[in-house]
Each structure stands twice: as C-alpha cells, then as structure tokens.
C-alpha cells in the first residue's frame, strides 16, 4: 500500500474521532461551584452568623424580644416567662449539602430521591461557615436551639449523627430536631413547627436559607412572595437572618408555578423566558 495512501487513511481516521465532548448543560453547575469554591460564599455565611450573634446579645437583654409573628408569640407578659430559643433550618443553613448537589450535576439528573437519601444517610455534610461558632455561643448563653428541617422524619437518626458529630448542641431529654412528618400536622409548611416551639419558648431569632424558614405561604408565585415579605423589611438582619442558597429553594419553585416541569430542558427554557433583559 502506498505510503501516501496510508497517511491519508490515518488523517481520515483522526478526523473521524469524536471531538472533545461538550459538557452537558446542568442548571446546578454554576451555583454548586459557587458554594464549593467561592470565598465570597464563605464570607457571606460568616457575615450572617456574626451579625446574628450580635442580635442575640441584644435580644437576651430584652425580655419582650421575639422573632415570631404569630399572635400567641406577641403577649409581652407571657413572653417574659418563657426560656429563650433560636429556631434554625438545617440544610444550607447549618449543613452544606453541596457534595450531594454535585452528585446530581455529575449524574445529569434533577432532584433525585435515591441520591439524596444516600447522601443524607452518610451523615457527612460539613458545617456552613460560622454556624457552629454561633450555635455553641448561643448554647453557652443558655439559649435552646431548635432545628426545623424539611428532611423526612425517617432521616432523623442520620441527621442527628451528622449534627452531633460536628458538635452542634443537642440536649438530652428534649427533642430539638423537628423534621417533616414527625407529626401529621408537621408538613413541609414550617409554621406549625414554629408555633410548636413558641408554645414553650421565646423565639429570639429565626435563621434559614429559604423564605419558608420565616413566613407561612412561601411556596407561591414570585409576585406574591414579594408582597408576602413587604411588611417585614425591618426583620432582616435584626431578628431574621438568611444564608445565601443559589442552588435551590422556594425561590426557584416560584419560577414554575403552578407546576414544576419534570423535563430539565423544559425547566431551562422556562427559566430563560423569565429572565429580565430590560428590553421594551
């Protein structure tokens, strides 16, 4: 076989090889990377918890201070008799689940119950920057920490193992890990659990990463959410402290009301349609 022909064959074979593969587009790639690599994310979290610590000191000096807005939480005489507490969410508030999110990105999947259950059962989530120092400080000041999470009640043991292993305060003799479904009325709407805590404790601060950690009815349209928070502007940074979570939450679900498409490409298309380009 002529040498020239062999060279031609080799070049043709090389050209036929697949070019470097395009990475699959995944909606969670950038937010997951931000959480895992940006010191800006770490600084935002520390800033929130340091501010919360200052607010806690102020709250402890004021026997009428409450972060709860239900009417039963507003009676000053009753409030003064109750022991102090702080109510915190768990996921993306105390625990960083970005490795679990990264598994979904690599698998090219949307929220996957099997992957999530596996991640939670490993009890390996690391603390959100600043969370541990804050919780230990609050406990040292005699404040009871209640953890209200939409993790399923079946995950309580793994969740406690994770929290305890990191050193988050978990008192004996009082259930402070209040998960979804532990009681019939404890749905993903957290207000019933906040009311449960407010029966026995004065809630000094609420700390979370989702509007649902603060207000009833967060799962609604984006416009309704803006109306929902309007009366509470003065609560942020004083009684309510929020952590940045760009990866998921009721903010994202609100883009899809009334129903979230199961197809990931359809989700992306819908997200593109709500982008504001400030064009007439």
Count CB-CB contacts under 10 A for residue 260: 14
* 96 sits near Mg ion (criterion: CB under 5 A): no
Minimum CB–partner distance for residue 36 and Mg ion (Å): 17
Q: Which range of residues in 23-31, 48-56, 87-95, 106-114 is near Mg ion by CB under 5 A?
A: 87-95
Beta-carbon contacts of residue 60 (< 8 Å; ≥ 6 apart): 84, 141, 143, 204
DSSP bridge partners of 179: 149
Among 68, 89, 96, 252, binds Mg ion (CB under 5 A): 89
Q: DSSP letter string over 201-230?
A: SEEEEEEESSGGGTSTT-SS-HHHHHHHHG
Instruction: Please report how close the Cβ of residue 243 comes to Mg ion at its closest, in angstroms.
Output: 8
Report how many residues bind Mg ion under the rule CB under 5 A. 4
91 binds Mg ion (CB under 5 A): yes
| Count of CB atoms situated within 10 Å of the CB of 253 | 17
Name which of 65 and 248 has its Cβ closer to Mg ion.
248
CA pair distance 157, 75, nearest whole angstrom: 36
Maximum C-alpha span of the chain = 100
Interaction between residue 209 and Mg ion (CB under 5 A): yes
Residue with tokens 């019933």: 192
**Measured between alpha carbons, how far is 140 from 170 in angstroms, rounded to an integer?**
13
Residue 95 C-beta: closest distance to Mg ion, Å? 9
102, 74 contact by CB (below 8 A): no
Q: Which stretch binds Mg ion (CB under 5 A): 54-62, 89-97, 162-170, 257-265?
A: 89-97
> From the CB of 156, what's the least distance to Mg ion, in Å?
16
Q: Which is nearer to Mg ion, 79 or 131 (CB)?
A: 131
Nearer to Mg ion (CB atom), residue 191 or residue 202: 191
- In the chain, which ranges are continuous DSSP H helix? 3-16, 29-37, 39-60, 76-81, 98-107, 113-122, 131-140, 156-166, 191-200, 222-229, 250-253, 264-274
Query: How far are the Cα atoms of 8, 21, 220 from residue 12, in angstroms, in the given order?
Result: 6, 19, 57
Of 96 and 209, CB closest to Mg ion? 209
Query: Binding of Mg ion at residue 252 (CB under 5 A)?
Result: no
Stretch 126-155 residues interacting with Mg ion (CB under 5 A): none
Interacting span for Mg ion (CB under 5 A) from 10-18, 24-32, 205-213, 218-226? 205-213
Of 68, 92, 96, 252, the residue at the interface with Mg ion (CB under 5 A) is 92
**Minimum gap (Å) between residue 37 Cβ and Mg ion:** 20
User: Mask of contacts with Mg ion, 152-181, x by CB under 5 A?
Assistant: ------------------------------
Rounded distance, CA 245 to CA 210, Å?
8
Q: Does 68 bind Mg ion (CB under 5 A)?
A: no
Residues that bind Mg ion (CB under 5 A): 89, 91-92, 209
């Amino acid at each position: 076989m002529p040498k020239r022909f062999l060279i031609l064959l080799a070049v043709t074979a090389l050209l036929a090889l697949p070019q470097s593969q395009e990475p699959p587009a995944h909606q969670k790639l950038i937010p997951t990377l931000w959480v895992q690599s940006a010191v800006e994310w770490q600084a935002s979290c520390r800033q929130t918890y340091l501010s919360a610590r200052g607010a806690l000191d102020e709250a402890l000096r004021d026997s009428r201070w409450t972060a709860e807005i239900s009417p039963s939480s507003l009676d000053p005489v009753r409030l003064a008799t109750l022991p102090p507490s702080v109510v915190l969410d768990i996921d993306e508030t105390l625990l960083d689940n970005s490795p679990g999110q990264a598994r979904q990105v690599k698998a090219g999947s949307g929220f996957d119950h099997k992957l999530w259950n596996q991640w939670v059962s490993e009890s390996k989530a690391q603390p959100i920057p600043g969370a541990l120092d804050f919780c230990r400080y609050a406990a040292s000041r005699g404040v009871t920490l209640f953890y209200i999470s939409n993790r399923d009640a079946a995950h309580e043991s793994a969740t406690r193992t994770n929290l305890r292993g990191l050193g988050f305060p978990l008192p004996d003799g009082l259930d402070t890990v209040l998960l979804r479904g532990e009681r019939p009325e404890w749905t993903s709407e957290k207000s019933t659990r906040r009311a449960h805590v407010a029966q026995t404790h004065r809630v000094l601060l609420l700390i979370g990463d989702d509007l649902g950690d603060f207000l009833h009815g967060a799962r609604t349209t984006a416009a309704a959410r803006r109306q929902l928070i309007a009366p509470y502007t003065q609560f942020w940074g004083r009684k309510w402290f929020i952590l940045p979570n760009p990866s998921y939450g009721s903010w994202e679900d609100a883009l899809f009301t009334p129903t979230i498409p199961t197809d990931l490409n359809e989700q992306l298309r819908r997200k593109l349609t709500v982008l504001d380009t400030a064009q007439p």
